[in-house]
Amino acid sequence: MSDPSFNRSQLEQLISRRFFYAPAFSIYGGVAGLYDYGPTGCALMSNIIQLWRNHFVLEEEMLEVDTTIMTPAEVLKTSGHVEKFSDWMCKDVKNGEIFRADHLVEAVLEARLQGDKEAKAAASGAAHVETPTATDPATAKKASKKKKSKVVVVELKPEEKAAYEDILAKIDNFGGPELAEIITKWNIKSPESGNDLTAPQEFNLMFDSSIGPTGHLKGYLRPETAQGQFLNFKKLLEFNNDKMPFASASIGRSFRNEISPRSGLLRVREFTMAEIEHFVDPENKDHSRFDDVKDIKLNLLPAKVQLEGSTAITVMTIGDAVAQGVVDNKTLGYFLGRIYLFLIKVGINPDKLRFRQHMSNEMAHYACDCWDAEIKSSYGWIECVGCADRSAYDLTVHAKRTKEKLVVREQLDEPKVIDKLQLEVNKKVFGPKFKKNAKTVEDALLALSEDGLQKLKDELDASEKTSINVEGQDYELTKTDISIERVTVTEHIREYTPNVIEPSFGLGRILYSLLEHVWWKRDNDEDRNVLSFPAVVAPYKCCLLPLSGNSVFTPVVRNLSQQLRAKNISTRTDDSKASIGRRYARNDELGIPFSVTIDFQTVEDGTVTLRERDSTKQIREKIEVILQVLKELSEETITWDKVVATYPAFSAKEGDEE
Amino acid sequence: MSDPSFNRSQLEQLISRRFFYAPAFSIYGGVAGLYDYGPTGCALMSNIIQLWRNHFVLEEEMLEVDTTIMTPAEVLKTSGHVEKFSDWMCKDVKNGEIFRADHLVEAVLEARLQGDKEAKAAASGAAHVETPTATDPATAKKASKKKKSKVVVVELKPEEKAAYEDILAKIDNFGGPELAEIITKWNIKSPESGNDLTAPQEFNLMFDSSIGPTGHLKGYLRPETAQGQFLNFKKLLEFNNDKMPFASASIGRSFRNEISPRSGLLRVREFTMAEIEHFVDPENKDHSRFDDVKDIKLNLLPAKVQLEGSTAITVMTIGDAVAQGVVDNKTLGYFLGRIYLFLIKVGINPDKLRFRQHMSNEMAHYACDCWDAEIKSSYGWIECVGCADRSAYDLTVHAKRTKEKLVVREQLDEPKVIDKLQLEVNKKVFGPKFKKNAKTVEDALLALSEDGLQKLKDELDASEKTSINVEGQDYELTKTDISIERVTVTEHIREYTPNVIEPSFGLGRILYSLLEHVWWKRDNDEDRNVLSFPAVVAPYKCCLLPLSGNSVFTPVVRNLSQQLRAKNISTRTDDSKASIGRRYARNDELGIPFSVTIDFQTVEDGTVTLRERDSTKQIREKIEVILQVLKELSEETITWDKVVATYPAFSAKEGDEE
């Protein structure tokens, strides 16, 4: 599947040479998992963000918010992140090296299996055994997480081999205790030193800090932008004139204190994400614009298929996928389609894009269904967008914790007569009887479901008393304390907690995948790298090249560059002394789609040449014409094919493209 | 100076009602100094950022970078922030309340002076004494920092009054020990409780955290984006083909763990800033585009004037200011002009904008000159943009700490013959003699200036020996260890550390000031708020208003909104049941400059009305015409005056504007 000639280190050199991004703090020795974006990467990212905003926020009048990174601990306790947003780590007992436990087990066992393969091959006289690579579909999924472990050529017993394979297939299911058992049972050591390892300990992946001068208010750097959106739900619903469904959106920095970050931009400690929280009626997950996407064909990898041990892709339209229940509902289907369209606009190769459904054991603690848009790169299939159904999880837990109603109240078209159990608390006796616990007990009673109330009522009716357990303590209740009666009420309002469909974009991962997808070498020449970004995301749209340092060009360049800026066409002027050909090559590496060359003829007749990056074809027209063409090209309202069909081709001077 | 009818709490209600921003985590009780931007505020901020990027980055081909927020402690130790980025706080010894010491002293002494005034007025039988307000120029500068302290009407002795006034005038000069003395001497207590206070302690304003799982790598959240730019200096210079001068730029979140944040968006713990680092030859601070700004007139408040106790404004052109030495150099002058132009484009009232030079005692530890663009609001004159000359401070300290050369190497037009002292170390004896300290001693010798070398040479020549003190220890040196000779060398390269001019924008402060400047009430009616944002920064450019919920309007609205999106005109559809007039009023509060109303005539003849927010004037034209007009209006390529001059005015139905 992946191109065997793909040479990642060459791409990495280009990325560094043209300063797309680089390890942060490199002059201080660097810090793993932190990267700085240089001028090209920063412009690329900012264009991707602008495209995202146009594609999602503007297109659907989403309510974009910008909430704080610093988050008090209480919020993330409620959301479950303090307890569950963690990985297991273990330490080399002697040198203190730290490993993420599951990655370590994976790496060691895979190395042993590889050693076994090589040993068997050697025994049978085979010349060469391929190392498993990211192109192997069975291992591709997890390729990005692995740190290579030394391969020792030793044959395994059949039962060992089977056990290792079984562990690897289930690795995502294991918590600390299981990993501890595996490490002990299979004698896993610190790979480099051979030392023993400590038992896996849980390590929370949030960066913590302290807010204000007291030292008593603990805070975390947010691990996602979602919580800020949930906390503002009430204000947003009101802003939306109480209409449902609606979506909020947020673009911003989030943090994840990885145990041992690797794989470049794919696993970092600080990253820019873009998240949508689409609030929807749990009883009606249709989408008014579903028809816009229903005919889009997607590469799908449903959970069911994976459970059968296969990674075979099902290609089907979104319409069929929803109709057949492969994708649960129209809103989820709608967003899968919109995500697809966005990624294609960015420049992702559609053949290297699939949508994989999470298996139940790998879902985040808040999700009830999740499809990942995975993009294929030299690291394997990488999750770049998650599209999770978080159900009513977050709004429910925050409402419960803060006693703030986070619900939608909907006027019913027709009033509804319903029959239900109604609880009344006899305040007169309740207070004196339960004293300081009165409120707690009352709250617990009020929170009971219909079934819970029925059980209490049955007990009261049978034995005149019942009890409720609150926070581990039983409280006895009699008919004097409470009454539970069946009543008929007419409801005019339906009150419900919305469900949330959450498309969540890891923009750095998309950016890296894009770099791999658009990179190629002209004429297979190692020195002629091209990055074929679509114009709309290209870091610069246009490069201005005066033929030489001759001062007759200076006013022309200044004037032209001023006119380009007035049209918001981002421009890089390259007036270095290198030849035009060298400069074309340099700007191909920056992925600049169009170059304008100013030469002596320009000074005479006001014409310039316009060259397109991928085809290297040129036209030569008056500056006014070229400006208009450039504006349309950079906004992608015309294609280059259309341009060359309209204006006569211009032959470059010999040697220009060398 | 400020409008006495200005009612801040009304504006705050509007800000909250229309969700420009709101205290973060409010359902959790809130956290001081943290704010979330709602849909309107977020769009406004994002438009301000886009304008900034066009005005600065695109306009001058600046190298924008996006660096990490999480910063290892070592970097901020070097930059001086660990030691110096702090405020003094003191605590109520009994209830633990924490105060920023200088603000507390200010508030208490000002309250006493006010009490004195009132007591004297009462004694003389005057009816009323005005509380000093932000309109008083002498106190306006610091108005935003004060927490009001209770005024007790007690007459002061003349020497007390004089002492208080002296302290207040110098308050920015005092550190912890001086503040401690003042607190003791003048018997300053915790204002609410009357309890004693602890001596002021230094409190570092950076949020700290720990990077990675070891717990040994301390990190801080950056207090400014500047350091990330300095650390990338070498890569940026290379990216710029080694050409000087050039500027980098960065837009992003920074943090400041304020002791007691207040004044809404003006003093917060997390904020978005935009910073430019313009790297320039220290021997030539001219700017090639200085002439573009030289005729702009600015309101200047030089340090000299302030030292004389005055806040009188000098209005002068930038050209004159630089020529007369009021502003130090052309690059600084150029940026003051560009900052001015940016703020005016955003919509800041030029009459409420001044440039104040820092006095030497209030400068940040890295700055050698600084002008603040201060904007007048109901909080007084607030620093919204700083424009500091950081000289070579940052590059020098980082280079020294990391041993990485952060310099420009410039080919000299003509080689320069110079006469200088040259040091040579005799490696053979040096190593054995100084053992593990050899490298340290050698480095110290190599770092000596020409004068330092001369001193050593003189001593060696006189007494055959000399010594150097390194980290508190003396090392004796003889003529065997080193030689220092005067030599003549021809230099082809000039090597220098660039100076940095840094315009640094607090975008939240600008946004808040803008809200104050553009807010007014139509016909002085309390319920008819208008926010007159310039179209280019308005959160939404256009509001779509179908006359009613009648379904004939649905396809027209959908079609029109789709066409507006295609033109990237951000649109809010308001199809609520309120009358057109009510909806105009609501959208005036959101600051939407243009409204398009779809009515029954639209369905018949395809015309719509277009209303402008400030004038409430309307035109009625075919949809195609209105779309084109809207595009130009929202990009500010035509004015509304031009539009009404071109198309016939349309009279709104009676009652529409009520």
For B297-334, what is each residue's pLDDT tens digit? 999 999 988 888 788 999 999 999 999 999 999 999 99
Interface of A with B in 232-261 (CB under 8 A): 232, 234-236, 238-239, 241, 252-253, 255, 257-260
- A54 in contact with chain B, both atoms CB, cutoff 8 A: yes
Question: Most B CBs within 10 Å: which of A59, A70, A563, A586, as the mutation test of the B interface?
Answer: A70
In a domain, A516, yes or no: no
**Using CB atoms within 10 A of its CB, is residue A48 exposed (0-12), middle (13-18) or buried (19+)?**
buried
- Asked if the model's pLDDT at residue B87 lies above 60, the reply is yes
Q: What is the pLDDT of residue A175?
A: 87
CB B525 within 8 A of CB B585: no
Contact B231 A32 (CB under 8 A): no
Rounded average pLDDT over A517-545: 94
| Angle in degrees, CA A603, A607, A613, rounded to 5 | 120
Residue of chain A with shortest Cα separation from B260 = A212
Q: What is the pLDDT of residue A134?
A: 38
Q: Where residue B259 sits, what CATH number does that domain have?
A: 3.30.930.10
CB contact set of B613 (below 8 Å; sequence gap of 6+): B530, B532, B587, B588, B591, B592, B593, B594, B595
Q: What is the pLDDT of residue A139?
A: 41
Residues B293 and B384 reside in one and the same domain: yes
In a domain, B573, yes or no: yes
Which among A564-573, B336-345, B422-431 has the top mean pLDDT?
B336-345
Interatomic CA distance for residues A231 and A215, integer angstroms: 24
Residue of chain A with shortest Cα separation from B28 = A402
Contact A37 B67 (CB under 8 A): yes
Q: What is the pLDDT of residue A443?
A: 82
Question: Most B CBs within 10 Å: which of A14, A20, A31, A103, as the mutation test of the B interface?
Answer: A31
Residues B382 and B428 reside in one and the same domain: no
* The total number of structural domains that make up chain A: 4
Contact A570 B58 (CB under 8 A): yes
Phi and psi at residue B614, to the nearest 5°: -75, -45
Interatomic CA distance for residues B34 and A221, integer angstroms: 13
Confidence of residue B137 (pLDDT cuts 50, 70, 90): very low
Q: Which two tokens stand for residue A218?
A: 């603990």
Among residues B436, B466, B494, the one where a domain terminates is B494
ipTM of the complex as predicted: 0.88
Q: What is the pLDDT of residue B134?
A: 39
- Asked if the model's pLDDT at residue B429 lies above 60, the reply is yes
In a domain, A384, yes or no: yes
- Asked if the model's pLDDT at residue B523 lies above 60, the reply is yes
In a domain, B267, yes or no: yes
In angstroms, what separates the C-alpha of B356 from chain A's closest C-alpha? 30
* Higher per-residue confidence, A26 vs A526: A26
Residue A593 preceded by cis peptide, ω within 30: no
Question: Most A CBs within 10 Å: which of B67, B270, B288, as the mutation test of the A interface?
Answer: B67
- Asked if the model's pLDDT at residue A454 lies above 80, the reply is yes
Interatomic CA distance for residues B557 and B555, integer angstroms: 5
Query: Tokens 């029925």 — which residue?
Result: A454
Give chain B positions within 8 Å (CB) of A574.
241
- Nearest by CB to A209, from B35, B46, B207: name it: B207
Interatomic CA distance for residues B444 and B159, integer angstroms: 53
In angstroms, what separates the C-alpha of B20 from chain A's closest C-alpha? 9
Q: What is the pLDDT of residue A655?
A: 58
Residues A566 and A624 reside in one and the same domain: yes
Residues B238 and B332 reside in one and the same domain: yes
- Asked if the model's pLDDT at residue A149 lies above 90, the reply is no
Phi and psi at residue A284, to the nearest 5°: -150, 95
Interface of B with A in 557-616 (CB under 8 A): 565, 568, 570-574, 576
CB A569 within 8 A of CB A542: yes
Q: What is the pLDDT of residue A464?
A: 86
pLDDT tens for residues B3-26? 667 899 999 999 999 999 999 999
pLDDT tens for residues B506-520? 999 999 999 999 999
Contact B228 A24 (CB under 8 A): yes
Residues A461 and A344 reside in one and the same domain: no
How much is the mean pLDDT over chain B?
90
CB A365 within 8 A of CB A80: yes
Residues A487 and A342 reside in one and the same domain: no
pLDDT tens for residues A611-622? 999 999 999 999
Q: What is the pLDDT of residue A656?
A: 67
Rounded average pLDDT over A79-94: 92
Q: Where residue A134 sits, what CATH number does that domain have?
A: 3.30.40.230
CB A426 within 8 A of CB A479: no
Residue of chain B with shortest Cα separation from A565 = B59
Q: What is the pLDDT of residue B74?
A: 96
Residues B368 and B417 reside in one and the same domain: no
In a domain, A544, yes or no: yes
Q: What is the pLDDT of residue A1?
A: 41
- Asked if the model's pLDDT at residue A434 lies above 90, the reply is no
How much is the mean pLDDT over chain A?
90
Rounded average pLDDT over B231-251: 96
Rounded average pLDDT over A68-85: 95
In angstroms, what separates the C-alpha of B259 from chain A's closest C-alpha? 6
Contact A68 B35 (CB under 8 A): yes
Contact A213 B98 (CB under 8 A): yes
Residues A350 and A272 reside in one and the same domain: yes
pLDDT tens for residues B27-56? 999 999 999 999 999 999 999 999 999 999
Q: What is the pLDDT of residue A72?
A: 97
Q: Where residue B435 sits, what CATH number does that domain have?
A: 3.30.720.200
In a domain, A595, yes or no: yes
Residues B234 and B312 reside in one and the same domain: yes
Q: What is the pLDDT of residue A132?
A: 46
Phi and psi at residue B165, to the nearest 5°: -65, -35
In angstroms, what separates the C-alpha of A289 from chain B's closest C-alpha? 11
Give chain A positions within 8 Å (CB) of B235.
19, 22, 38
Distances in Å between the alpha carbon of A198 and those of A178, A201, A626, B213, B216?
Answer: 14, 8, 67, 14, 18
Residues B226 and B197 reside in one and the same domain: no
Contact B37 A67 (CB under 8 A): yes
* Higher per-residue confidence, A506 vs B476: A506
Q: What does DSSP assign to residue B58?
A: I
Residues A61 and A102 reside in one and the same domain: no
- B61 in contact with chain A, both atoms CB, cutoff 8 A: yes
As a whole-number percent, the residues of chain A with pLDDT over 90 amount to 68
Contacts of B562-566 with C-beta under 8 Å, sequence gap 24+, read B563/B623, B563/B627, B564/B627, B564/B630, B565/A54, B565/A58, B565/A59
CB B230 within 8 A of CB B395: yes
Closest CA to B230 of B245, B243, B248: B248
In a domain, A285, yes or no: yes
Q: What is the pLDDT of residue A145?
A: 45
Q: What is the pLDDT of residue A142?
A: 43
pLDDT tens for residues B606-636? 999 999 999 999 999 999 999 999 999 998 8
Q: What is the pLDDT of residue A362?
A: 73
Residues A233 and A366 reside in one and the same domain: yes
* Higher per-residue confidence, B428 vs B2: B428
Interatomic CA distance for residues B230 and B227, integer angstroms: 5
pLDDT tens for residues B139-165? 444 444 445 677 888 889 999 999 998
Confidence of residue B385 (pLDDT cuts 50, 70, 90): very high
- Nearest by CB to A43, from B64, B72, B207: name it: B64
Q: A473 lies in which domain range? A: 413-494
In a domain, A417, yes or no: yes
- A38 in contact with chain B, both atoms CB, cutoff 8 A: yes
Q: What is the pTM of this model?
A: 0.89
Give chain A positions within 8 Å (CB) of B260.
212-213
* Higher per-residue confidence, B171 vs B517: B517
Strand-pair partners of A221: A70
